[in-house]
Amino acid sequence: MSEAIDVNVAGRKTNTVLQMENLRTFFYTQKGVVKAVNDVSLRIEKGKTLALVGESGCGKSVTSLSIMRLISKPGRIESGRILFEGEDLLTYSDRRMRSIRGNRISMIFQEPMTSLNPVFRVGEQIVEVFLTHEKIKKSEAYERAVELLKMVGIPAPEKRITSYPHELSGGMRQRVMIAMALASPDPGLMIADEPTTALDVTIQAQILQLMNELQQRVKMSLLLITHDMGVVAETADHVVVMYAGKKVEEADINDIFEHPQHPYTVGLLNSIPANEKYRGRDRLEAIPGVVPNLLKLHNGCPFENRCVYARDICRREFPERRVIGENHEVYCHFADQLDFS
């Protein structure tokens, strides 16, 4: 059952690069079932950045791996649809999925050192991406690789192309990853899973700026997965907040920071020391408690045990979707009754 979100933007449906509907990805572990992604829907528009935000265990990484169909045992995509340019990726054969990966949908990860093969030169790895998806001569592939390295801001690309990953700094490696992700002639969607978390903050700023620029230039759509609201503030157009496998709130960038409506979103923003409100104060308004054990979740709202507004109903039922503004929806029983100003 697809979500009514289409209704709002029915006229702009063709601008959708990715539409994920009611995705459920579960992990069948020895100790029980972990509902890593539990009925989550989202939509990425062409040329825009969607940030998927949440803390550890919320399911954001699993979501991205599900889109790429890189979930392996004991995980399984239970149900849902992942429409990429109109077609459901979950119905694709392995072969067809392989032709999509690295080509139309590419992914960059947090640790570029482990995503790049340490025994191959950087140039070889980029060229490999070209040659996998296109029939071109190796020399041409190398030329294009140099162009790509230039595009991602690597100085002296003709020299760098023969470097090994360990000869490059973290920031450089991440640029190489981005170059690889762009190595196809028609990149539809880039998924970046915590791309700057392992980098120094000044390098992070460079990478984020690069991604913003590339997005303008190549009209690339970006699914950015992060736990860092600061990164979200700098790059996202639209934001989805996840908690314990569920989507709890979704809004455009300014709304999520200025008018958050879910107690978790509010709590998250309050936990950030950079928040304006803490000028001159020395205690943070922290969310009490810890994330519940994902193996022992009840059927209600997973945030219930930490929420100061929780009532009985929160334990019994997961809240329905409530639209509270333009492109702004929240999953909370008291969505419009709580005043967070």
Partner 1 sequence: MSTIEQTADTRQSRLENSLLYENWLLLRKNKSAMLGLFIIVIFILVAVFAPLLATHDPIAQNIDLRLSRPMENGYILGSDDFGRDLYSRIIYGARISLMIGTITVSIGLVFGVFLGLIAGYYGGVFDILIMRLIDIMLAFPYILLALVIVATLGPSLRNAMIAIGIVGIPRYARIVRSSVLAEKESDYIIVERSLGASNFELMFKSILPNCLSPIIVQATLGYAGAILSSAALSFLGMGTQPPTPEWGLMLSSAKQFVASAWWVVTFPGVAILISVLGFNLFGDGLRDVLDPRLKE
Partner 2 sequence: MEKLLEVKNLRKHFEIKSSKLMSESSWLKAVDDVSFDVNREEVLGIVGESGCGKSTLGKTIMRLYDKTDGSVLFKNRDVFELDPRGVKEMRRTMQMVFQDPFSSLNPRKRIESILAQPLRIHNMGGHEEISRRVDELLDEVGLTTRYRRRYPHQFSGGQRQRIGLARAVALNPELVICDEAVSALDVSIQAQVLNLLKDLQEKYHLTYIFIAHDLSVVEFISDRILVMYLGRIVELADKEVIVENHLHPYTKALFEASPGIDPRKDRGKRVLLGDVPSPINPPRGCHFHPRCPECMDICREVYPPSVEVEPGHRVACHLYQEAK
- Binding residues for partner 1, rule: CB under 8 A, are 30, 288-290, 305
List of residues 6+ apart from 13 with CB closer than 8 A: 6
Using the contact rule CB under 8 A, the part of the chain among 14-22, 103-111, 130-138, 285-293 near partner 2 is: 285-293
How far apart, in Å, do the first and last CA atoms of the chain sit? 35
Instruction: Give whichever of 82 and 229 is closer to partner 2, judged by the CB atom.
Output: 229
**Which one of residues 87, 140, 167, 200 is an interface residue with partner 2 (CB under 8 A)?**
200
The minimum distance between CB 289 and partner 1, in angstroms, equals 5
- What are the b/e assignments for 87-120, b being 16+ CB within 10 Å? eebbebeeeebeebebbbbbbbbbebeebbeeee
293 torsion bin: left (phi>0), alpha (psi -120 to 50), beta (else): beta
Distance of CA 221 to the CA centre of its chain: 11
In which element (H, E) is residue 67 found?
helix 60-67
Give the whole-angstrom CA distance, residue 141 versus residue 137. 6
Instruction: Give whichever of 21 and 237 is closer to partner 2, judged by the CB atom.
Output: 237
Looking at the DSSP assignment, which residues form a beta bridge with residue 51? 224, 239
Instruction: Give whichever of 14 and 30 is closer to partner 1, judged by the CB atom.
Output: 30
Give the whole-angstrom CA distance, residue 209 versus residue 216. 11
SS3 label, residue 258: helix
Instruction: Give whichever of 11 and 155 is closer to partner 2, judged by the CB atom.
Output: 155
DSSP character for 219? T
Using the contact rule CB under 8 A, the part of the chain among 67-75, 94-102, 214-222, 280-288 near partner 2 is: 280-288
Is residue 325 involved in binding partner 2 (CB under 8 A)?
A: no
Q: Considering CB distances under 5 to 8 angstroms, the limit depending on partner class, which of partner 1, partner 2, none binds residue 321?
A: none
Using the contact rule CB under 8 A, the part of the chain among 72-80, 123-131, 176-184, 249-257 near partner 2 is: 249-257
Instruction: Give whichever of 8 and 254 is closer to partner 2, judged by the CB atom.
Output: 254
Is residue 131 involved in binding partner 2 (CB under 8 A)?
A: no
Q: Considering CB distances under 5 to 8 angstroms, the limit depending on partner class, which of partner 2, partner 1, none binds residue 201?
A: partner 2
Q: Considering CB distances under 5 to 8 angstroms, the limit depending on partner class, which of partner 2, partner 1, none binds residue 118?
A: none
The minimum distance between CB 306 and partner 1, in angstroms, equals 8
Is residue 1 involved in binding partner 2 (CB under 8 A)?
A: no
Q: Considering CB distances under 5 to 8 angstroms, the limit depending on partner class, which of partner 2, partner 1, none binds residue 228?
A: partner 2
Sign (positive or negative) of CA dihedral 284, 290, 294, 300: negative
**Which one of residues 136, 291, 310, 323 is an interface residue with partner 2 (CB under 8 A)?**
291
Looking at the DSSP assignment, which residues form a beta bridge with residue 204? none
| Edge-first strand listing for the sheet containing 189-193 | 105-108, 189-193, 221-226, 49-53, 238-243, 246-252, 328-330, 322-325
Q: Binding residues for partner 2, per CB under 8 A?
A: 55-56, 169, 171-172, 200-206, 209, 212, 227-234, 236, 253-254, 257, 267-276, 278, 282-288, 290-291
